[in-house]
Structure 1
């Protein structure tokens, strides 16, 4: 199936999750993540800040910061279609980009991270082989490839986002695991 068609259908379905059910699923995914050895063994974590109907990462970020983990989040340059990972100490003092996504307001050279123990990847759809469909900008694929990052890459997803097979391209970066409200799929 066409990636754009899959992206459109999954986003529509994800947006239709009832608020109470979404909170329940987010809680299950959060607990699976923080109880995983992948999280426990990580000190430097690069994660997206959730937006819209995505699996909530804000509670995870707060928890990880209180657990003395170093947390990095994306700061994008939409003109160059690139991003950097900026170290944060809280979700305060963030700006909102043109799509309404929270991100650090400025790029501070001394806070840019490039080596991580864990990356939490966003995405719209995933298969059980680690293939993913993102939002179409290729930011994570470009970033991980450019920096040659080898740490575990985990996706957080609702079970409805996991489909049978995604046709991937050579430049697509795969997830090493997917934590959903049903299971932790390890590749």
Structure 2
């Protein structure tokens, strides 16, 4: 794919992800589930922060349920607005989440907020990634602002086709520590 700009990449990746059949998506998600739940970062984490998957994103509902089964604490994002960003709140189950205006499942605002320093591992979404820790999200900057100045292990999950040679990056973009796909785990911190 010829990289032009962030918006073109976003459109291209959304379209490519939307073209996955249910069966293809389920198979890829199963491989990603196996890869992440066997990952040392996941296994050793006591507190996991995860996005809650929406539409054709890699399924995190199963990953979150598995984290609970292992006795881990789980926190998920609650978007306040563009100006205030997002809060990260503890949950006890996926079933307690309620749809936002956009239809994304979120926790009740009155749930206990987590301190960024309590999180051991973050599972982050994205539309495109590169082999240097670059991540192209949806354009809101919520994750970049939340992670700024922290050293949480930020692991993206995505499909192999979402990895490009290079994604456009700006000064404020936070690099991820690794990506887990249906094929493998790329640990950027060990490569440099």
Which TM-score applies when normalising by structure 1? 0.94
Structure 2 unaligned spans of 5+: none
Cα distance, 1:105 vs structure 2 = 2.2
Cα distance, 1:114 vs structure 2 = 2.1
Which residue pairs with 1:4 in the alignment?
A: 7
1:38-97 C-alpha deviation (Å, 9 max, x unpaired): 111111111000001100000000000110011000011025341111001101222111
Structure 1 unaligned spans of 5+: none
Confirm whether residue 149 of structure 1 aligns to residue 142 of structure 2.
no
Which residue pairs with 2:79 in the alignment?
A: 76
Q: Please, what is the CA RMSD of the aligned residues? A: 1.2
- For the 8 Å contact 1:81–1:137, the answer to whether it is kept is no
Which residue pairs with 1:105 in the alignment?
A: 108
Cα distance, 1:98 vs structure 2 = 1.5
- For the 8 Å contact 1:87–1:113, the answer to whether it is kept is no
Confirm whether residue 92 of structure 1 aligns to residue 75 of structure 2.
no
Cα distance, 1:165 vs structure 2 = 0.7
SS at match of 1:46: strand
Q: Which runs of 4+ in 1 moved over 4 A?
A: none
Which TM-score applies when normalising by structure 2? 0.92
Which residue pairs with 1:30 in the alignment?
A: 33
The aligned length equals 184
